[in-house]
Structure 1
Amino acid sequence: MKRHTLTDTHEEFRASVRDFIKREVVPDFHEWEQQGHPPRDFYRRLGELGILGLWVPEEYGGGGATSYAYAAVLMEEIAAAGVGFGCAIPHSTLILAYLTAFASPEQKARWLPGVASGETLLAIAMTEPGTGSDLANISTTARLAGDGSHYVLNGAKTFISGGSVADLVLVVCRTAPRDPDNRRAGLSILAVDTTTPGFSVGRRLEKIGLHANDLVELAFDDVVVPVDNLLGDEGRAFEYLSHNLAQERLSIALTASAAAQAAVRQTVEYVSGRTVFGKHLSSFQNTKFSLAASAATVEAMVTMTDRALELFDAGDLAPTDAAKAKLFCTEQAGAVIDQCLQLHGGYGYITEYPIARLYADIRVARIYGGTSEVMKLIIAKSLGL
């Protein structure tokens, strides 16, 4: 089906991203996977190209884009090439939104130029060793000093993407005692400079996939955070996190859709050249039926995410709609990519083939940003159940 969400400008952006990936990512990507993240200079190059600052307002050195459809283009090209951009995707498509929405003018002037250029890399720290989807159970604390000039931050976080390379980490912490009658109250977001004494990066966590994306544990031991680094108002973190969840879940749905699109294209190419029992694998009815069904599913995913993009750009994407998009796209991407891997036979299990990396990388999409089970709870609640 013809897509109407993407304009000529989006397609021009696609061409520049595709060229950049071919020249500056594909030749070195295997090395990045072994290292666990791209080199720092890679992020500066993304900044020079305007990719990191796409949604940064122009007055702060960014592109001033208002359409989130650029994220779809970016993810589709990354998936098509079988590569990754390290922490650049959460940096620009997710974490940046907290600064543009909730930072003060002074904070924006202080942080956004570096965010756009790649000099300041972002991470967000929500999950704790004992706290996953239940953010109201966060126990990392920040105590306001007697003179009101700074907070003293203590605690630990885990599963932090980009945590080992970030310059500024948005830490969700408890600034008021837990209220048993309102567990969501008392949480705030502090922007922590990673050069501050007491901040430390712990273990690098080994993952099934996404090997070029670092994932680490963080620790805070009496970290002094200036009160000027409080993002928004004290005690409103849960509200802020909820505000941005629709964008995060749409981003994950776009990633899943992009991966499934890439898987079908790769598999069509593979079966067209692979010979089995003296015939092209593409000539077997099972191959045709399997890929036909997968193509139809992918079309539904693209249609759903394009509609979600239109709603998001108009400011009308409801949390329930974002949950539906994430649930459908991540579950279906897993099924489509699994079927495509099966058609590769033994080669599908070899990491040299992009389908194997897609298979491993997409699995976490059903977990982060809220598990599939959490998405079902949100949708069921909208049904009055």
Structure 2
Amino acid sequence: MRKNVVVKGAYGEANFGDDALMCTIENFFLTNGLGLNVDFCGSSSDYCHRLLRKSGYVDANDNKKATADVLIYGGGTQFFLFHSNKGGFYLRLFWKLLTDNPGLLIKKIRSKFSRKETVPAKKSVGLGLGLGPFNPENGKIEEVKTLVGQMDMLYVRDATSASYCKDWGYNVNEGADICYSSFLNYDKVIRKNGKDNHAGQKRRKIGVIVRDWKYENGGNEYQNALLRMVDEQKNAGYEFTFIIFSSLRDVEWKKIISENGYPCLEWDPFQNRIEQFMDRLNAFDGFITARYHGGVMAAVLNKPVVCIGIEPKLGILAEQVKGFRLWDMPFRADDLKQAMRVFDEQNFDCSPSVNSLRRKADEMFDSLHQYLCEL
């Protein structure tokens, strides 16, 4: 009898990063032909079936889910406890959905008030997870520790996440983000970057990947300084395009971009596929990003990046990829201009860092393959 595997993540939220994680993991199963029944599990969604080629998709709040033989926590930051400031964020999200997609709004309301249960499973695995940060005053941290401690195999994506597990007394393997792996299946030739490789080009094309921020850590204070820089520098050698990874989540930024008439590129999972959107990203010469997977994908494409430090994982990313710059709190304009000098480097090449991270990610999938073969 075929074993049942469920892969759980923040899927179904129309977020390019999480959608890329989902599709990359499915590529692993399609490539290896393990003879397993594979379902992905996330928010109620109408588009995930379109992105997935052969796997099933189930709503995380569906109480009729059968018990899985293995539950895989499939990448992303699934375990964290910030100080929250969600009221204004959810009010904006409510009005956005009420106007654009009332059917999805009804699903979200049902999901919010239904009893959320973990996927019933005999065993569990963590794959390329980012852990933290954790508010020590939040009592739910003990639930996180228990859940992580029950995993048969755990791979995290960075040293900071590994240190949490070691502090809790758990065995852990340090892998890398899932999207660095060969299973991303983006094999197109990546062109060289840097100032010397754009001779004759009047202005460098910079993608500005933004994100609404709903937590009380000062992360959203980058907004005004970033907008001033875009307005001041748009005729000084740069051509800026704002990029939205999640139209569902980045409601405030979409409003700002629309009202000011800024050029914008938006991930639409109902129209695009991962490879198509990667092609669009590859047309840029560099990125300023408030989204972690904006930096990961830029690294895969060998692009210079300024990471906006709205949360710790952007700083971790800037440390992992040699050549990336960090614009950190309190988000001073002069610090941003200094960080943007990365776009003026004669030759930019982060491929050694990416190759190292890809080896870690592929070794992580090798271990998963062996684990699943021994079920």
TM-score by length of 1: 0.26
**Structure whose alpha-carbon radius of gyration is higher:** 1
More helix by share: 1
